[in-house]
Structure 1
Amino acid sequence: MAKPIYFYGIHAVQAILQNRGIDGLALFIQDGKQNKTDEAVENIINLAKQYGISVQFSAKDKLTKLAESPQHQGVVLQARPSDVQDENDLKLLIDKYQSEQKSLLLLILDQITDPNNLGACLRTAVAMGVSAVIIPKNHSSSITPAVAKVAVGATEYMPFIQVTNLARTINEIKKQGVFVYGTALDDTAKSVQDCDLTGDVAIVMGSEGDGIRRLTADSCDQLVYVPMTGNEHGFIQSLNVSVATGMVLYEVSRQRFK
């Protein structure tokens, strides 16, 4: 069984309690935050009590120490981490979407090691209706409390899948009929606006510095780029991955719901 960890932040803690409160072990509230005027904190306390989770009121410094961050917003939850899904779960997910004739949208994140970027990508993914997020077990941040905080609870509302070999996984989902677009500044890349994103598709995003790995890129069906019309002088060669992810996913949403 995975070792319990300390999650923090109002939205992240509330999402855990709403979706898997049984995994909560102890709730720590900053002294003074338990007044009736703070409805969000009061709701968190009530959720914890429903699951029989002990509620302790402590000084701000103690919460900072538990969370290993001052950004806890006066709320820290000791809880078991959620179960991370794998390649078998991904195959079943794709089969389920196809059997129900629902459009599938996968977000594949290659080499996103910054927790802030990963958290921001997950938050955007939930907002844009992504079916699941896929990352490699190595060369990537995992769902840490910092990621959960930045994602404001999004990690609890969507499957999160870790795979051993990303290129192999891409080839497997292609066999299931998923068309894979990889973002890259490459001579063969097409503008994302010129691509058909309405079917079962996967979008591969890479780190701001290195982009997606060559083996990953070679496994994609088509490479795409985000056109930057205001960059005629060439000062901006790439965007922050969370920003670029939002732009690509918005284009998917625009095409699907126009």
Structure 2
Amino acid sequence: MGKPKPHKRRYGGGGHPEARANRHAGPPGAGVARLLEDDLYALLDETDEVLLLILDGVQDPHNLGACLRSADGAGVTALVIPKDRAAPMTETAIRIACGAAESVPVVSVTNLARFLEKLREDHAMRVVGTSDRATADLYETNLTGRLALVMGSEEKGMRRLTEENCDELIRIPMMGSVECLNVSNAAAVCLFESVRQRLAAEERE
């Protein structure tokens, strides 16, 4: 086997110019790379390899910041949150993100269910959600290509309409006594399994 390729890129072609232009100079959301929904659609049409992280009902700024940090490490194209039932981009979230708030575009959408439907029908995206009720195993699921990964809150999971707009539901196999991981830990596990699969596919080419 050759040396592993360094993972120094963002799926979707790097930092989007609109996101760079929309960093704010002061609070709220100082130093945050934001992207409009329509600009995200344009970005999706520019590339074959896409990895989106979508948070539904995650209201803790610590979890938002930790998810951003993992998203940056995994080369995520953008992080998507609903305008309602979502943690605000506070100083705490930015601090926990350790710089990732400036590098990962954050997209706020008004209607998450409609957004997911548009991803699937108009932009050839596959939407995979995580759920305790899922029967499919994370490690047996294809997480390459044009993928949107949806994470729900720890307490309630995804909303019903969000879940109904997923192509597939998966679960992380738990071997111990606890039933689930913290949402930011679960996001990291799923994102880096996607990275592992993508790098393995590149090695086979």
> Aligning the two structures, in what range does the TM-score lie when normalised by the shorter sequence?
0.7 to 0.9
**Structure 2: which amino acid aligns with 1:89?**
D
RMSD after superposition: 2.1
* Residues 146 and 192 of structure 1: CA distance in aligned 2, closer, same or farther (over 3 Å): same
1:94 aligns with 2:40: no
1:154 aligns with 2:100: yes
The CA deviation at 1:189 is 3.2
Provide the rounded CA distance (Å) in 1 between the counterparts of 2:76 and 2:172. 19
Gaps of 5+ in 2: 1-19, 201-205
The CA deviation at 1:153 is 1.0
TM-score (norm. length: structure 2): 0.81
* Residues 227 and 161 of structure 1: CA distance in aligned 2, closer, same or farther (over 3 Å): same
**Structure 1: which amino acid aligns with 2:34?**
V
Q: Is the 8 A contact 1:123 1:154 kept in 2?
A: yes
Q: How many residues align?
A: 179
The CA deviation at 1:197 is 1.0
Identity of aligned residues (%): 40
The CA deviation at 1:213 is 0.9
> 1:169-198, CA deviations, whole angstroms, 9 ceiling, x for partnerless residues?
000011211100000011x53101111111
TM-score (norm. length: structure 1): 0.65
Q: Which residue is 1:242 aligned to? A: 184
Q: Which residue is 2:158 aligned to? A: 212
Provide the rounded CA distance (Å) in 1 between the counterparts of 2:46 and 2:98. 27
Provide the rounded CA distance (Å) in 2 between the counterparts of 1:215 and 1:81. 32
Question: Equivalences for 1:160-175 in 2 at 5 Å?
Answer: 160-175=106-121
1:177 aligns with 2:117: no
**Structure 2: which amino acid aligns with 1:236?**
V
Runs of 4+ residues deviating >3 angstroms: 22-25, 77-84
Greater alpha carbon shift after TM alignment, 171-180 vs 83-92 = 83-92
The CA deviation at 1:144 is 1.4
